[in-house]
Structure 1
Amino acid sequence: MVQRKMNKRRFTSRLASALAVLLMLLTLAAGCGPGDELTDLGGEAPAASEAVPTMPAARFDQPTPVTDLEEASEADRQADEEEAAEEPDIAMGEFVYGNRCAECHGEGAAGTDQASTLVGLTLSENEFEDLIRTGGELGPDHLFGSTKISPDGLKAVYAYLISLE
């Protein structure tokens, strides 16, 4: 009985292999046929057909004209001057002050037991920026680099503090 099962397995395995080989041969034979165009009964080949493109032809649009660099730089300069002439954003300064300064200097810059009042600030904007960026005589507690407060944020805080007078 064991012998029959083994013979049956061998037969099934050989049959599966033979069918796989036969399937591959049929697939190869199908690819080697005469093609799409058959010759007519007279034995003449049909006339060569015109090639049909498989992709659309490339289209190139008109390039964008080059702008006058002098005009562009003049417009940029004017925009920069207008932006610089604008008043600093006091609301933004109050927000930045609340996030960076109010913990020690108190709400409204009134001062706390940790730090003095900033109401009536007498420093110029450059002196204020120097104090914040370098720490000045106050040391590293007041050191706020450009990653902690942006130049615009610093100007806004200064404008906010000046507005408290």
Structure 2
Amino acid sequence: MKKLFVFPIVFLSCLFSMSCNQTHKNSASVITDTNSTSPVIIDNKHERQNALYDRVKVDLVEGRFTEAPSEIELSIWNQSQEVIKVKGDYRICILEGREWIPIDFEDLSIGGDSYVISKGVSVKVSVQIHPNLVEYKQGDYRVSVAIDSDVGEVEVDGYFSIVK
């Protein structure tokens, strides 16, 4: 009788652990630049470490420019069932050889100290870049944006090129 009782418990615990392992697999989003054939990979490893993975999605608008863009556009989508507050900072790097070299760092607050996003809403936010702080030259740039919210943190990389 004890064996009949133990088997279903062991079986159910194995099923539960298998389903948990499925939800934490590595994942990455692919964004294809309309001006390029190569996809841009945004690694979600930062998202997997916290509750934000299922709640907030952040996309960076990317492209090719003849001069430095004066702003970066973020699309922040609150996929959760609650109102969240977000704020963030960004770092801009230029590709020199095989290394990304930071050229500018500036704290930003989106809409003041924080920005409130209602549940299920996507908000486009423009982050101002001050061109007088750095002399942009032709090349490939990476923008790393860290968004912090009251439900966790997410970090994404976006890319743009300046062609003269």
TM-score of the alignment, normalized to the shorter chain, above 0.5: no
TM-score range (shorter-chain normalised) is under 0.3
Structure index of larger Rg: 1
TM-score normalised by structure 1 residue count: 0.25
TM-score normalised by structure 2 residue count: 0.25
Instruction: Tell me: higher relative CO, structure 1 or 2? Use CA pairs within 8 A at least 6 residues apart.
Output: 2
> More helix per residue: 1 or 2?
1
